[in-house]
Amino acid sequence: MKRTPLYDRHIRLGARIIDFGGWDMPVQYTTVIEEHKATRQAAGLFDICHMGEIDVKGSGAFDFLQIVMSRNLEGQKEGTMRLSVMTTEQGGVIDDLTIYLIEDNWYRIVTNAGTKDKDLAWMVKLKDKRGFTGVEIVDMSDAIGKVDIQGPESHAVLAPLVRDDVTSLKYYHFIETVIEDIPVLVSRSGYTGEDGFEIYGDADNIGEVWDTLLAAGADRGLLPVGLGARDTLRLESGFMLYGNDMDETTTPLEVTYGWVSNLEKDFVGSDILRKQREEGVKKKLVGFEMLDRGIARHGYKVFKDGSEVGEVTSGTFAPTVGKAIGMAFVPPSLKEPGTEIDIHIRSKSAKAKIVGIPFYKRKKT
């Protein structure tokens, strides 16, 4: 089992540890609901060291990524990031990832934890196959540590600790700076639906960054937050989770990644996706909320008029919304908000209705 550089700190904080894709990760320190609420109302600090970072650089890096990634990277400026997916020849989602442009022809790709090795192998194979000899692909995952600070107070906690200005840093922009002499890359982004920052540093001293933020945030209500609340926060905000809501059997058009798939350019899988766009998808990922009592979970079957029509991909009790919510694949004819569906929960059928995503939207200040 792999451990992040912060593992000993989680144990000292009393975290409950679970196996997450081969990593020993904190699922909760106190309770999921308490950590969820702290992030919505104040701030939460997350160990994200398990996620992967892959650098793609050198002559031809841009041209290479235009073929690998669904997103059009044309016009991306240094210091900005973009969300994208990689797809197979069949258009299936290999991973969803963020692409940081550090400088001309130097990209940092941030991947999910469980998919990093697969992503790396895929990229190396494509590089060789397509003859991008000037492109260098480097796995930085062990060298880089990552912590996220998320929530309405995250800016107030972070800003005084950072040498450079993060106040004017826009969403999906990043800077390279220092936190108390420790070099870091800070982006304004996250996976919770709140204002917040993702912070990358050397794995060797990411622990000091964690300690500094935890101490600085204590009197503003910042709590360390485990994967349990990370999941409820992302689901309320309508973010998908790779492996739960999509995988290689799913195309970006079937989930909510049509907008990151630029079908005006050619990339691996784009032919199939163009065809799918013309013919229409056969299943579509939608949000739902339960009308009857009960919580729908991953894998539960969806019914309409007595026939099985789909499957739940994510489901939970949403602490801020105060309802049981989830995402499910349904036929496109049932995707309109307000449509009622039935979900089989153990031996019973429970009513739910399709609703728009996200389930929760923060008030912009």
CA distance 269 to 259: 15
Q: Does 297 sit near another protein (CB under 8 A)? A: yes
Please tell me whether residue 321 binds another protein under the rule CB under 8 A. no
Segment interacting with another protein (CB under 8 A) among 55-63, 186-194, 209-217, 224-232: 224-232
Cβ 325 to another protein, closest distance in Å?
12
Cα angle value 177/179/185 (rounded, 5°): 40
Q: Which listed residue (83, 295, 321, 355) binds another protein by CB under 8 A?
A: 295
Pairing relationship of beta strands 23-28 and 52-57 according to DSSP bridges = unpaired
For another protein (CB under 8 A), the number of binding residues is: 17
Q: b or e along 313-323 (b: 16 or more beta carbons within 10 Å of the residue's beta carbon)?
A: bbbbebbbbee
Q: Using CB under 8 A, which of 187, 189, 276, 316 touches another protein?
A: 316
Residue listed under structure tokens 């989602």? 93
Q: Applying CB under 8 A, does 294 fall inside the site for another protein?
A: yes
Q: Which residue has the tokens 């050198």?
A: 58
Beta bridge partners of 314: 327
The whole-angstrom separation of Cα 213 and Cα 126 is 40
Q: Tell me 260's DSSP state.
A: G
CA distance 165 to 151: 18
Question: Quick check: 241 binds another protein (CB under 8 A)?
Answer: no
Nearer to another protein, 277 or 297 (CB): 297
> Is residue 33 involved in binding another protein (CB under 8 A)?
yes
Instruction: With contacts defined by CB under 8 A, name the span among 27-35, 53-61, 122-130, 145-153 that binds another protein.
Output: 27-35
Told to check if 324 binds another protein by CB under 8 A, we report yes
Comparison of 138 and 295: residue with beta carbon closer to another protein = 295
Using the minimum distance from each CB to another protein, give the nearer residue, 17 or 83.
17
CB 98 within 8 A of CB 190: no
Q: Which residues bind another protein (CB under 8 A)?
A: 27-28, 31-33, 228, 231-232, 293-295, 297, 316-317, 319, 324, 346
